[in-house]
Structure 1
């Protein structure tokens, strides 16, 4: 009876640790994406590219991509590298979209963009 209790207790603690660690890792990822979104949004503001944007930087989509020559790269050495792409939602029925911003995931610096179409 005591051995069953110890097995149950060990299993419960193990599951709790696994679940707790995975939630912490997910929160860290979201925080990192928020930093990347903020950097990209500040660049959009500096360039005065807000005309067709809905103004909500938190709704931006962030994904990892490989930088290539379809992007206007602002810094050398990123062609072929994995970077973060930030796409902001535009107002409906816009003729020109907000540019897609590329951010270095390590330095959190804007390294390029794809002009809006």
Structure 2
């Protein structure tokens, strides 16, 4: 009987080791957290948009900095202020920032071409 118990205990231990080692605990959604900073494939677009916000003097309306920006892929519509009308109907990155609570005019959403890394337009803050 002790042989059977030892064999079963060994089998359970082996099974736990196999299952535990085969599961990858990281979720590969393209997002990493390093030193408390969210990092993904859009960090460069965040930085580009933030530099534009600073250049235009709109940073007073934004809470935080480039690291707090949200990025999404959008199709450019007519409601955007474009520097080049050829982007109308094209997909670009839209970078948006959280507004400070007391602001009357929100921070504009910045459009960045993901291939060239250039700001191609913006959506004025409301």
Same structural fold, with TM-score higher than 0.5 when normalized by the shorter chain: yes
TM-score using structure 1 length: 0.75
Aligned-pair CA distance for 1:55: 3.2
Residue matched to 2:8: none
Unmatched 5+ stretches in structure 1: 1-11
Paired residues, what number?
114
Q: What CA distance in whole angstroms lies between the structure 2 residues aligned with 1:116 and 1:86?
A: 12
Unmatched 5+ stretches in structure 2: 1-19, 33-38
RMSD: 2.9
Q: What CA distance in whole angstroms lies between the structure 2 residues aligned with 1:42 and 1:56?
A: 10
Q: Which runs of 4+ in 1 moved over 6 A?
A: 12-16
Higher relative contact order (CA 8 A, sep 6+): 1
Q: Which has the higher helix share?
A: 1
Larger Rg: 2
